[in-house]
């Protein structure tokens, strides 16, 4: 690929209205330039590439036909929004994407008025678009509302809930299905494009509506025959019966990489006023136009910086294994010994390591799609029949299944194992993907056991602990990325439930760490000893149940306890504080301080910068300990 190729059309765009005047040949050329600009930028910054490459022509066509931002354009999730950002005034900032104080990797309402709805989780676009369409009608406006949703996001129930509601309400709404993987129906070249133009035309839709009205005056048998005939005919040429039954006018499939096919259909829909909702089915290829991405198994979905010519990514030379890879390896080891172990994920087999487990145990691995609610209750069904399900879902996505966690798992006390990946700050994906709330939203549930490893060795032991625990639900949370480099145990040793561990003994102040901040706590203790502040450092290991015996001992031997966790308030520190309050142990001046994420959403940056912002990095820990020590001295 010629990285030095020029981008004259893109360079000449001063505002989004310029694109509306382009000819089809100019739009095709603009698409090539946007694709090149996208590759150039992401090669330098890293980020999401494959999804954006797949929607370049669709993005150009939408902005050519519709009057954004007056016409509302909602991108589901937003992985694919980079071309949209390039065309909507953010081209010069693309080298800041996913960096501190730079552009978001997703759509963002605070970033641009071209982003009417922010997203980081999937399958929300149709619901949001329907809300905007209703608001438009209540205000008496006439703008269009367009939602672009991928076939993967269509696996989530929320998308169908929204479409069912939209069909019943019969609001004017345009949903574009970007089918880049499961290929609901193949695009069949010129004939498909011709049929799509016919089906989207005003004359066809008017005749169709008239015929539907007319059949109501015929005997029921004639009405049914007419309806079945139309369904059969449209099913033969489009495969859109499901969407028609939901109340949508279905148009497609269309080759999503051919401007000459996309533009006429979008114009037909735009000019067909007073009708809707519509579903336009486009078939695209993730990673389109960049050979290394097209050949890659994940189509370069998320990449680090890379060489444009070869596609080789700069992933560094860190030989320390990631928590995710350790989880996969340990679960495979446990499953080799126990045929009751099964693994479940929600459309993230690679991200959770279950792709490796699946290669070893294909019949015991279940990817349920973007359906976290189903994943949890499905696991409950398996557990109720004596199996040992491990549900491996990112912390931020597990939130979507909270009702199922309560009703289908906790209330019934079913032994489901929750492997909560990406706990804590996750870096460039920002606040939509931080694992901020899992401690808080699980710790209040009866019957749950909640663990967090301080390093890789404890992680191995916790996986073994979860395997053997069968008295109810158990969860273990672990961070994104590599461990700290400790030696892994040759044979895992299950941890007694609810038992913490003193790592370093001191006096006056005890640091009680839950999870991955223990290393910094130990570094802080070495710095503070030079200031004559000798602290005890404890690896709590469990947020629930608390090690009450250890807490009572810490109370007797110290004048203050500081808790630390990489999670929101209402979590581990809160229950420790409640324990001492309930015991009436705070009345004599005993000090407790909690260090946790602040009560605000922290934007994209690298993880260390996010820890600094939250004041739970090494300096934040040191600062808190010094303040507490000063309070003790001044009592």
CATH assignment at residue 128: 3.40.50.970
Q: Is 501 a catalytic residue?
A: no
**Residue 495 maps to a domain:** no
Same domain as 345, residue 227: no
Same domain as 470, residue 506: no
Same domain as 398, residue 349: yes
Task: Using alpha carbons, select from 454, 473, 465 the residue that is nearest to residue 398.
Answer: 473
Please write the tens of the pLDDT for every residue from 100-137: 999 999 999 999 999 999 988 889 999 999 999 999 99
**Residue 496 maps to a domain:** no
DSSP assigned state of 75:
E
Q: Is residue 341 within 8 Å of residue 149, measured between CB atoms?
A: no
Q: Is 286 a catalytic residue?
A: yes
Q: In angstroms, what CA-CA distances link 548 with 465, 543, 554?
A: 20, 11, 10
Same domain as 120, residue 47: yes
Same domain as 353, residue 257: no
| pLDDT-derived band at 314, boundaries 50, 70, 90 | confident
Average pLDDT, integer, range 538-566: 96
**Residue 482 maps to a domain:** no
Q: What is the pLDDT of residue 181?
A: 67
CB atoms within 10 A of CB 136: 18
Please write the tens of the pLDDT for every residue from 473-532: 999 999 999 999 999 999 999 999 999 999 999 999 999 999 999 999 999 999 999 999
- In terms of pLDDT, which residue wins out, 152 or 213? 152
Q: What is the pLDDT of residue 211?
A: 45
C-alpha to C-alpha distance for 513 and 633, rounded to whole angstroms: 23
Q: Which CATH number goes with the domain that contains 536?
A: 3.40.50.920
Lowest mean pLDDT among 49-58, 225-234, 379-388: 225-234
Tell me the pairing of strands 508-514 and 501-504.
unpaired
Domain count, the chain: 3
Q: Is residue 486 within 8 Å of residue 516, measured between CB atoms?
A: no
Same domain as 223, residue 77: yes
Same domain as 388, residue 296: no
Q: What is the pLDDT of residue 206?
A: 55
Q: Which two tokens stand for residue 502?
A: 């003193």
C-alpha to C-alpha distance for 478 and 454, rounded to whole angstroms: 9
Q: What is the pLDDT of the chain when averaged over all its residues?
A: 89
Query: Model pTM greater than 0.85?
Result: yes
**Residue 155 maps to a domain:** yes
Asked whether the predicted pLDDT for residue 460 surpasses 90, the reply is yes
Q: In angstroms, what CA-CA distances link 158 with 127, 148, 621?
A: 8, 15, 41
Q: What is the pLDDT of residue 634?
A: 80
Average pLDDT, integer, range 558-575: 96
* Phi, psi (deg, nearest 5) at residue 30: -60, -40
Average pLDDT, integer, range 259-279: 91
Contacts of residue 139, Cβ cutoff 8 Å, sequence gap at least 6: none
Task: Using alpha carbons, select from 459, 476, 164, 480 the residue that is nearest to residue 352.
Answer: 480
Same domain as 620, residue 568: yes
Q: What is the pLDDT of residue 222?
A: 47
Lowest mean pLDDT among 171-185, 272-286, 387-401: 171-185
CB atoms within 10 A of CB 387: 17
Q: What is the pLDDT of residue 220?
A: 54
Q: What is the pLDDT of residue 242?
A: 82
Average pLDDT, integer, range 415-424: 97
Percent of the chain with pLDDT over 90: 77
Q: What is the pLDDT of residue 55?
A: 95
User: Token match 């574009």: residue?
Assistant: 176
**Residue 605 maps to a domain:** yes
C-alpha to C-alpha distance for 629 and 559, rounded to whole angstroms: 9
**Residue range of the domain that includes 175:** 8-303
Q: Where are the alpha helices (DSSP H) in 498-593?
A: 518-529, 548-557, 572-582
**Which listed residue (90, 286, 356, 422) is catalytic?**
286
Torsion angle in degrees (nearest 10) through CA of 592, 598, 604, 608: -20
C-alpha to C-alpha distance for 418 and 516, rounded to whole angstroms: 18
Same domain as 345, residue 294: no
| pLDDT-derived band at 11, boundaries 50, 70, 90 | very high
| pLDDT-derived band at 236, boundaries 50, 70, 90 | very low
Same domain as 142, residue 63: yes
Same domain as 473, residue 364: yes
Asked whether the predicted pLDDT for residue 335 surpasses 70, the reply is yes
Q: What is the pLDDT of residue 317?
A: 65
Q: What is the pLDDT of residue 254?
A: 92
**Which listed residue (57, 372, 456, 565) is catalytic?**
372
Q: Is 372 a catalytic residue?
A: yes
Q: Which two tokens stand for residue 371?
A: 């359906």
Q: What is the pLDDT of residue 119?
A: 83
Q: What is the CA radius of gyration of the chain?
A: 28
**Residue 319 maps to a domain:** no
Q: What is the pLDDT of residue 215?
A: 45
**Residue 314 maps to a domain:** no
Could you give the count of Cα atoms lying within 13 Å of 488 in the half-sphere of its Cβ?
19
**Residue 485 maps to a domain:** no
Contacts of residue 272, Cβ cutoff 8 Å, sequence gap at least 6: 200, 201, 202, 205
C-alpha to C-alpha distance for 500 and 353, rounded to whole angstroms: 28
Q: In angstroms, what CA-CA distances link 334 with 327, 331, 461, 463?
A: 10, 5, 11, 9
- In terms of pLDDT, which residue wins out, 353 or 218? 353
Q: What is the pLDDT of residue 526?
A: 96
Q: Is residue 77 within 8 Å of residue 121, measured between CB atoms?
A: yes
Task: Using alpha carbons, select from 136, 148, 165, 16 the residue that is nearest to residue 79.
Answer: 148
Contacts of residue 171, Cβ cutoff 8 Å, sequence gap at least 6: 130, 133, 134, 137, 276, 277
Q: Could you say which of 462, 477, 492 is where a domain stops?
A: 477
Q: What is the pLDDT of residue 184?
A: 37
Asked whether the predicted pLDDT for residue 84 surpasses 50, the reply is yes
C-alpha to C-alpha distance for 153 and 347, rounded to whole angstroms: 10
**Which listed residue (171, 258, 388, 400) is catalytic?**
400
Q: What is the pLDDT of residue 201?
A: 56
Contacts of residue 609, Cβ cutoff 8 Å, sequence gap at least 6: 100
C-alpha to C-alpha distance for 597 and 612, rounded to whole angstroms: 11
Q: Could you say which of 303, 319, 339 is where a domain stops?
A: 303
Q: What is the pLDDT of residue 188?
A: 39
Same domain as 277, residue 158: yes
């Amino acid at each position: 690929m010629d990285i030095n190729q020029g981008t004259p059309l893109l360079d000449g765009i001063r505002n989004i209205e310029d694109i509306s005047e382009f000819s089809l040949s100019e739009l095709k050329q603009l698409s090539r330039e946007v694709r090149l600009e996208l590759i150039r930028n992401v090669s330098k910054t890293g980020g999401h590439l494959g999804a954006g490459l797949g929607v370049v022509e669709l993005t150009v066509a939408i902005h050519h036909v519709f009057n954004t931002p007056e016409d509302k354009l909602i991108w589901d999730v937003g992985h694919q929004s980079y071309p949209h950002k390039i065309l909507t005034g953010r081209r010069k900032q693309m080298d800041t994407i996913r960096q501190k104080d730079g552009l978001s990797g997703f759509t963002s309402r605070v970033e641009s008025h071209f982003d009417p709805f922010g997203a980081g989780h999937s399958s929300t676009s149709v619901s949001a678009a329907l809300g905007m369409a209703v608001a438009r009608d209540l205000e008496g406006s006439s703008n269009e509302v367009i939602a672009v949703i991928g076939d993967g996001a269509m696996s989530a129930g929320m998308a169908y809930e929204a479409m069912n509601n939209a069909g019943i309400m019969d609001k004017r709404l345009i949903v574009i299905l970007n089918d880049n993987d499961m290929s609901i129906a193949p695009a069949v070249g010129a004939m498909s494009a011709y049929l799509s133009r016919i089906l989207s035309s005003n004359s066809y839709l008017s005749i169709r509506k008239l015929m539907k009205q007319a059949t109501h005056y015929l005997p029921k048998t004639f009405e049914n025959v007419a309806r079945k005939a139309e369904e059969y005919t449209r099913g033969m040429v489009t495969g859109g019966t499901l969407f028609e039954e939901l109340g949508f006018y279905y148009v497609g499939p269309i080759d999503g990489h051919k401007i000459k096919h996309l533009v006429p259909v979008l114009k037909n829909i735009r000019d067909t006023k007073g009708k809707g909702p519509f579903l336009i089915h486009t078939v695209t290829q993730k990673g389109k136009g960049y050979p290394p991405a097209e050949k890659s198994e994940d189509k370069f979905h998320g990449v680090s910086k890379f060489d444009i010519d070869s596609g080789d990514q700069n992933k560094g030379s860190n030989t320390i294994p990631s928590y995710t890879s350790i989880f996969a390896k340990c679960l495979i080891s446990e499953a080799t010994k126990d045929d009751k172990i099964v693994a479940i994920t929600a459309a993230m087999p690679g991200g959770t390591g279950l792709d490796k487990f699946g290669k070893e145990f294909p019949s015991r691995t279940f990817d349920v799609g973007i359906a976290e609610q189903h994943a949890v209750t499905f696991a409950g069904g398996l557990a109720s029949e004596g199996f040992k399900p491990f549900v491996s879902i990112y912390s931020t996505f597990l939130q979507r299944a909270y009702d199922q966690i309560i009703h289908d798992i906790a209330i019934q006390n079913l032994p489901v194992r929750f492997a909560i990946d990406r706990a804590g700050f996750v870096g460039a994906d920002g606040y939509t993907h931080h694992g901020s709330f899992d401690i808080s939203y699980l710790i209040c549930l009866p019957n749950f056991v909640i663990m967090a490893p301080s390093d890789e060795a404890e992680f191995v032991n916790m996986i073994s602990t979860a395997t053997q625990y069968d008295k109810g639900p158990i969860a273990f949370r672990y961070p994104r990325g590599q461990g700290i480099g400790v030696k892994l145990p040759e044979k895992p040793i299950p941890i007694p439930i609810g038992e913490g561990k003193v790592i370093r003994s001191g006096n006056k102040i005890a640091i009680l760490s839950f999870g991955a901040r223990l290393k910094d706590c130990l570094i802080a203790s070495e710095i503070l000893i030079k200031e004559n502040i000798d602290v005890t450092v404890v690896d709590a290991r469990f947020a629930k149940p608390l090690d009450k015996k250890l807490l009572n001992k810490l109370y007797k031997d110290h004048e203050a306890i500081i808790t630390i966790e990489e999670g929101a308030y209402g979590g581990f520190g809160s229950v420790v504080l409640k324990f001492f309050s309930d015991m009436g142990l705070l009345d004599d001046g005993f000090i407790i301080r909690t260090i946790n994420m602040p009560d605000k959403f922290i934007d994209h940056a690298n993880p260390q910068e996010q820890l600094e912002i939250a004041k739970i990095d090494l300096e934040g820990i040191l600062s808190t300990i010094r303040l507490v020590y000063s309070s003790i001295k001044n009592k």
